[in-house]
Amino acid sequence: MTTQTKVSICLPTCNRPDLIVECIESCLAQTHTNIEILIGDDSKDDRTQRMIATRYQHEPRIRYVRNTPSLGQARNVSSLFNRASGGRILLIHDDDYLAVDGVERLVSLWQRHPDLDVAFANQYEVDQAGHVDREASDRLNADFYRTKSAEGLQQPPGRTGLIQMFPNNGWMANADLVRRISYKEQYGMCCDYVFGVELCLAAKQVYYLNEYVSFYRKTDVSISMTTKRSTSAASVSAYAFIEKLRLDRPLEPARKLALRRIVPIVVSVYSRNHDPIKGLRIAAKNLFAYNYGFSMRLYYHLMMISRSMLTLKPR
């Protein structure tokens, strides 16, 4: 029975007392009731702490900790993984939330595949107010290769993380594997991508379920949105990670597919931040990302690089 499986829902939060309630309520409403909800609070004030103490004081499934001083994204998530007592771990961010049977549908996959290590499914895209955009949701999942034809056990499993098919939250995995891989602080804004890649590379079996189990809230105030045009952007760190990653030969096509997505973004970032030489070197090294040069996007980026060079001040 899946109800015998305890699931630890890990919920990192930072300065979002107005949004976390919906996330917590979605966790408490799960049809799979054998859960614990671990909250790691990195907030600068005590609004979330006071809300949790007032609203959920009689809820034994919630285990709340306020981090003083704050830990940062990677260490906060890692601390939640270490506190988990369930056999499976599910990560959900404070501005996102779960479908009422999301946990049940994911955990049931272990009945069909006892050797399963990791499972994930589709995400609805919702706006700040929580309104679902079905067309945008379908595009979001299709953009990350989550389609009906891809449903099932992934071969090879590691490809799933490399090509960003694996989502940043709403997934479920065996707790011992999650703790072994964990989030790593040295990867900065792309620590969730690195975790997904390393988790799938280490997994024996990864299953993709072509059903909606979680809701991804698109906002303009997330860390990834506020840093996306700077050299601290997740894409820049992800590029460096993918370049250095040692892979078996069957996974090289997945590396190439990952670079097709990331390289043009990174070239644009360096051009915008007055480092055109670095942008040009990356573009030249990865021309396949621009269809080997036959791409209007490449010509646009070359124009950006040229403009950036002209604005450089002589030393």
Task: Give residue 228's pLDDT band: very low, low, confident or very high (50, 70, 90).
Answer: low
Q: What is the CATH number of the domain that holds 182?
A: 3.90.550.10
Whether residues 246 and 280 share a domain: the answer is: yes
In our burial notation (b when 16+ CB lie closer than 10 A, e otherwise), range 101-110 reads ebbbbbbebb
Query: Which pLDDT score is estimated for 311?
Result: 77
Whether residues 233 and 198 share a domain: the answer is: no
| Mean pLDDT (whole number) for 283-297 | 89
Total domains present in the chain: 2
- This prediction's pTM: 0.92
Instruction: Choose the weakest-confidence range: 5-19, 142-156, 270-284, 295-309.
Output: 295-309
CB 174 within 8 A of CB 224: no
Whether residues 235 and 172 share a domain: the answer is: no
pLDDT > 70: percent of the chain = 94
Q: How many other CB atoms are found less than 10 A from the CB of residue 197?
A: 27
Whether residues 200 and 274 share a domain: the answer is: no
Residue that is last in its domain, among 170, 189, 219: 219
Whether residues 181 and 114 share a domain: the answer is: yes
- For 34, list phi and psi in degrees, rounded to 5: -85, 80
Residue that is last in its domain, among 184, 219, 254: 219
Whether residues 75 and 194 share a domain: the answer is: yes
Whether residues 162 and 261 share a domain: the answer is: no
Whether residues 213 and 237 share a domain: the answer is: no
Whether residues 117 and 200 share a domain: the answer is: yes
Whether residues 190 and 235 share a domain: the answer is: no
Tens digits of per-residue pLDDT, 143-189? 999 999 999 999 999 999 999 999 999 999 999 999 999 999 999 98
Whether residues 11 and 155 share a domain: the answer is: yes
**Domain ranges, residue 295:** 228-311
pLDDT above 90 for 220: no
Task: Give residue 221's pLDDT band: very low, low, confident or very high (50, 70, 90).
Answer: low
pLDDT > 90: percent of the chain = 82
Query: Which pLDDT score is estimated for 268?
Result: 92
Residue that is last in its domain, among 185, 219, 253: 219
Tens digits of per-residue pLDDT, 198-215? 999 999 999 999 999 999
Whether residues 126 and 194 share a domain: the answer is: yes
The whole-chain average pLDDT of the chain stands at 93
What is the three-class DSSP state of 214? strand
What is the three-class DSSP state of 253? helix
